[in-house]
Amino acid sequence: MKKLLLFVSLLIVSVSFSQHVNFNSQKNWSLNKKELIFGIGATQFNGDLGGGSTEGIDYSPKDIDWKSTGIAGMVGFRYRFHPLFATTTSLSYFTLKGDDKYSEETVRFNRNLHFKSGVVELQQKFEFIVFSKEQFSPTYKSPGTNPSKNRNQQYYIFGGVGVCFHNPKALYNDDWVALRPLKTEGVAYSPFTLTIPAGIGFRMGISKMWRIGMEVSYVKTFTDYMDDVSTVYADPSTLSAIGAAVADGSGGNPGYSAGYKRGDDKQKDAFYHLNIVISRNITYKDYGRQRSKSISKSSGKYKV
């Protein structure tokens, strides 16, 4: 009878563990419900300034000026509330740049405007996990268990909402001056805008507590003034001396004077992110110890 009970106990432990390593039959996803997120990466602006070499590709992935790549840093908190769904709250700081001197398109090059901006963005993203493989091998050997390698991979798409603060500046006499207070187009605009991020990503485990991955996202804004350029040239007599100097970089070209087109107000600005993301599992302090205790307890060998 004792041998039978022992055999049944070992069978239960074996079945329980087998289910545990199979994502489709057990709650392995819940072992990483809560994570701290850290990211670093690059940004690309997609708006009026800088960009590609031909007409008709503006505001598209082809309209990228690699020489104006910015940098980004991010911290956040991810909560996975379902095997297929998670949400991430993040705070980012990054730089956006654009410079007409790098454009091969004649009109932009002759316009000769530029900007850079430090941007702070708060995002709330929602993830749909398209594919995942999450298996965890035992940290000990016991009868009836087959050792297997850890597998912790996820591939996902995401979208969300956000709000960002931007502060475009231009170089004037070797100093970077804020453009918004100068009203270079004769209008006042808000330094805040709503954003809509969308993208794809993947992550993989490098230990039971840490994961690393990559995210690529496109972020649409609700402003056309991320780069301080949108409509037409203002009358320089209505601007300050500094405002007039940074509003027109063409050197007096008559096609770039008051009333002429300065930007394209029919399309809002956007930007891209490419981030390396590292996450730290904070669901358990030590998953291996928790799992070992649970298995030992179920087999009648539990020790504190």
Note the pLDDT of residue 294. 53
Of the pLDDT bands very low, low, confident and very high (cuts 50, 70, 90), residue 13 is very low
Rounded Cα distance between 77 and 280, Å, is 10
Of the pLDDT bands very low, low, confident and very high (cuts 50, 70, 90), residue 252 is confident
Task: Single out the residue of 133, 141, 95 nearest to residue 115, CA to CA.
Answer: 95
DSSP string computed for 236-298: GGGS-HHHHHHH--SSS-GGGSTTSB-S-TTS--EEEEEEEEEEEE-S-S-HHHHHHHHHHHH
Amino acid symbol at 234:
A
Of the pLDDT bands very low, low, confident and very high (cuts 50, 70, 90), residue 61 is low
Note the pLDDT of residue 18. 37
**H helices within 139-250, ranges in order?**
241-247
Note the pLDDT of residue 208. 77
Of the pLDDT bands very low, low, confident and very high (cuts 50, 70, 90), residue 197 is very high
Domain ranges of the chain: 2-298
Summarised one tens digit per residue, pLDDT across range 147-177 is 445 567 899 999 999 999 999 999 999 999 9
- Going from the C-alpha of 290 to that of each of 157, 189, 254, 286, the distances in angstroms are 31, 54, 74, 6
Note the pLDDT of residue 285. 55
For the segment(s) 2-298, the CATH number from 2.40.390.10, 2.40.160.20, 3.30.1060.10, 2.40.128.720 is 2.40.160.20
Predicted model pTM: 0.79
Note the pLDDT of residue 293. 58
